[in-house]
Amino acid sequence: MLNFLPKFLVGIITVILYLLSTIIFPILIIVVGILRLLIPFSFWRKQMDRLIRIFAIVWIYISRFIMWLTINTKFEITGTGKLTRKGRYLLISNHQSWVDVFILEIFFGTKIPMLMFFMKKQLIWSAPIIGVSCWAAGFPFMQRYKPSYLKKHPEKKGQDLNTTKKLCKRFINQPLTITIFLEGTRFTVAKKQQQHSPYQHLLKPKMTGFAFVLAAMEQSLHDIINVTIVYPAGKISLWDFICGRIDKIIVKYEVIPITDNLRGDYNDRMFRAKLQKWLNQKWLEKDKFIGENMDKKR
């Protein structure tokens, strides 16, 4: 509705509105998270978890309203498979921009359980409001160690796996969506060339995180949601998006049942190789789809 205004002004208004919502709702989630810790009763904690999810959904709807109010981007969403709020999913996606997180939350956050991202522990303090609210909501925070450190402190090895298993126990009887960007970082041409990626529009998918989650969650996850995000105009920034400079965004998804061929021993080298081959094929399909939908006039 406000797209008649100059783009930079639309961007400023959008930033202000998102900042307000990003202060109010995370603070509410933090308060509920603290209340959850103070009273150690199972029923109470389940109710607090439910309240956190309600706040998260309301936050998403408000974000949708802000987007409708400020930008005129066309979204093309296609998919196969059933999505449900009662599901237990592992969501995987390609990663090109900070906008990816926003897109996933906006379009999947009300159709499936709250998206939970694996986050670095440093984010708790480097992005205090968002970081602490994610901690209060139960997001898994990981402490990554260098191989040289693990060699000196072998007792630290496997702690991330234990963290994920604890998360699984907390949500054992509740819907869940674990979300991973398997490329590990945002795509750039420089990164593609550095790692000699065989894909035109993607970095190599990292099997380790994928196998790690499947192993840690054991039988707790039922389906994979494989998402491909395409920006036909090419690489974009968050500022481009909130200013309404993006004409079109394409999102494609498929729901894939987690069958026995995707489960196995995380430490088994042959199993990891088989899983990597499966991921590589999915990435070939993604790369082809992105190429077919890029703006040929660029």
Give me the sign of the Cα torsion angle 284, 296, 189, 236.
Answer: negative
Residue 124 confidence (pLDDT):
62
Strand, helix or coil for residue 279: helix
pTM for the full model? 0.83
Write the CATH number for 108.
3.40.1130
Whole-angstrom distance, CA of residue 143 vs CA of residue 211: 18
Residue 9, domain member (yes or no): no
Q: How far is CA 223 from the centre of its chain?
A: 15
Q: Round the CA-based radius of gyration of the chain to a whole number and report it.
A: 20
Domain presence at residue 88: yes
- Evaluate whether residue 19 is within a structural domain: no
For residue 178, the enclosing domain spans 74-293
**Whole-number pLDDT of residue 21:** 83
pLDDT for residue 142: 64
Residue 77's SS3 state is strand
- Other beta carbons less than 10 A from residue 213's beta carbon: 22
Beta partners for residue 255, in sequence order: 225
Task: Answer yes or no: is 60 within a domain.
Answer: no
Tally of domains within the chain: 1
In a domain? residue 61? no
Task: Report residue 137 CA to chain centroid gap.
Answer: 14
> 148: number of CA atoms within 13 Å, CB side?
0
Q: What is the pLDDT of residue 260?
A: 83
| Tokens encoding 119 | 């986050």
Could you give the CA distance from residue 284 to residue 197 in angstroms, rounded to a whole number? 11
Residue 205 confidence (pLDDT):
92
pLDDT of residue 239: 83
State how far the alpha carbon of 113 is from the alpha carbons of 29, 33, 198, 211, 277, in Å: 16, 18, 34, 21, 29
> Do the strands 248-257 and 223-230 form a parallel or antiparallel pair, or are they unpaired?
antiparallel
Measure CA of the first residue to CA of the last residue in the chain; give whole Å. Answer: 28
Q: Is 203 helix (H, G, I), strand (E, B) or coil?
A: coil
Is residue 111 in a domain? yes
The pLDDT of residue 257 is 94
Q: Is residue 267 part of a domain?
A: yes
Which parts of the chain sit beneath pLDDT 50? none
In a domain, 10, yes or no: no
